[in-house]
Amino acid sequence: MNRLQKALDALVDRIDTPSPIVLVDVMQENIDRMQGFAAQHGLDLRPHVKTHKCVEIGRRQVKAGAVGITAGNVGEAEVFAAAGFDDIFIAYPVWPAGTKGPRIRKLSETTRLRVGVDNFAAIDALAGAMGDEPDRLEVVIEVDCGARRSGAPPEFAGELAAAARNRGLVPVGVFTYPGHGSAGPGSRKGAAEDQDAALTTAVRSLSAAGVSPLVVSAGSTPTVEFATNSVITEIRPGEYVFNDLNNARLGACTQDQIALFLAGTVVSDWVPDQVMLDVGTKALGREGTPEIGYGGIAGTAAVLSRLNEYHGFLPLPAGDFCPGVGTVLPVVPNHVCPVVVNFEEYIVTDSTGTSLERWRVDARGFLN
């Protein structure tokens, strides 16, 4: 029997569905494996907490050896800072409008805070937000390595760093995101090579501007296996803590390394060769395509073909898999991050399902 189903069977009378189930032993193995990879290659590990948004999990990552954490926005950083995390990188080109400027300034008073920047206007705005103490804020220049998202051209990194220095901020290095490494199984290594090239160019640009790059930060879970270029000092994977079907399809993890799934119940079976689950977009998000489906049933070939808000459409493949109404199934998401934001807590067990704890998703709802 698939171990996700085995753990679920042991819990079924003690939980409601849909609920996110975390296998803590698998999760801890993932944490330790990534930390070991970082140590083997002389890299700092700064995991991205946007994947789990959970203080308890962040503490486990730091206990294993992470140098600090990565956050996706000011709100996430505030939640973790309030819980005692004192080394935080907001890996995002924050525009400090509204309340964000004062909040960043307050965070810098209690934590070693780094913020991403990729343009001159944001540098001016951040410096202004810091008032007469801009040197309390470290900035990391974001460069684009091919994902075509945010990030300046790598050759502009030095100009941006010099501008930050001139405004009294403390430029400490560069970072990038090789998001195009998720395009398909053959894309990971090429994206990592693009990342190496972009970071190398950015480091040269910083050096030419007289800025010493203390941190050269790379992501992500799909590409981290190839992030071993000597120019890189730090890695920022996030999804590795749980993993998901997308990472398994890419070859970035195995099925046995998936640590989070949703417990979902069959609620209707009137349509021939199809059952309905209580797992829809409100639980899974909308990640998927008609070709790969919108989540899979662990240990089977069955995938959800369509989602409504509270309904998951599950065509039944040929064979003996024919779950009846009331059957609780382990649904593995394509992309784990959108699942997390839909729930206030995790149900935490192990691969035997004998233990049961509940951990808060502490930064859920903090989107700015």
How does pLDDT run across 126-139, given as a tens digit for each residue?
999 999 999 999 99
Mean pLDDT, the chain, integer: 97
| Pair 261, 18: CB distance under 8 Å | no
- Residue 109 domain flag: yes
In a domain? residue 366: no
Beta strands 306-307; 312-315: pairing state: antiparallel
Looking at 243, 264, 291, which one is the last position of a domain?
A: 243
Q: Answer whether residue 367 is part of any domain.
A: no
Residue 365 lies in a domain: no
Instruction: Please write the tens of the pLDDT for every residue from 150-170.
Output: 999 999 999 999 999 999 999
Distance CA 179, CA 20 (A): 26
Q: Domain boundary residue among 213, 243, 273?
A: 243
**Which range, of 1-5, 203-207, 275-279, averages the lowest pLDDT?**
1-5
Number of separate domains in the chain = 2
125 and 266 part of one domain = no
Task: Give the whole-angstrom CA distance, residue 237 versus residue 83.
Answer: 21
Q: Is residue 149 part of a domain?
A: yes
pLDDT given at position 340: 96
Residue ending a domain, choose from 191, 214, 243: 243
Reported as a single tens digit per residue, the pLDDT across 45-95 is 999 999 999 999 999 999 999 999 999 999 999 999 999 999 999 999 999
Do 229 and 290 lie in one domain? The reply is no
Domain check: are 205 and 276 in the same one?
A: no
Cβ-Cβ contacts under 8 Å for 166 (sequence gap 6 or more): none
Domain coverage including residue 55: 24-243
Residues 17 and 36 in one domain: no
CA distance 171 to 141: 8
Q: Looking at the structure, do residues 319 and 193 belong to the same domain, yes or no? A: no
3 state SS of 56: helix
Q: Using CA atoms of 362, 79, 139, 62 in order, give the dihedral in degrees to the nearest 10.
A: -60
In terms of domains, do 100 and 216 share one? yes
Task: Report the SS3 class of residue 59.
Answer: helix
**Position 75 in a domain:** yes
In one letter, which amino acid is 46?
R
Are 287 and 208 members of one domain? no
* 237 lies in the same domain as 258: no
Is the pLDDT at 1 greater than 70? The verdict is no
The answer to whether position 55 is within a domain reads yes
- Looking at residue 209, which CATH number applies to its domain? 3.20.20.10
CA–CA gap between residue 30 and residue 24 (Å, rounded): 10
**Same-domain pairing of 216 and 264:** no
- Extended strands (E) in 205-272: 215-218, 234-235, 260-268
- Is the domain of 259 the same as that of 235? no
Q: Which whole-number Å values give the CA distances from 311 to 147, 205, 245, 283, 297, in the listed order? A: 33, 52, 20, 10, 15
Shared domain check, 342 and 258: yes
Instruction: Determine the pLDDT at residue 2.
Output: 84
CATH number at residue 281: 2.40.37.20
Task: Render pLDDT for 300-339 as a digit per residue (tens, 0 to 9).
Answer: 999 999 999 999 999 999 888 999 999 999 999 999 999 9
CA torsion, ordered 28, 31, 35, 36, to nearest 10 deg: 50
Give domain status of residue 123, yes or no.
yes
117 confidence band (pLDDT: 50, 70, 90):
very high
Do 107 and 187 fall within a single domain? yes
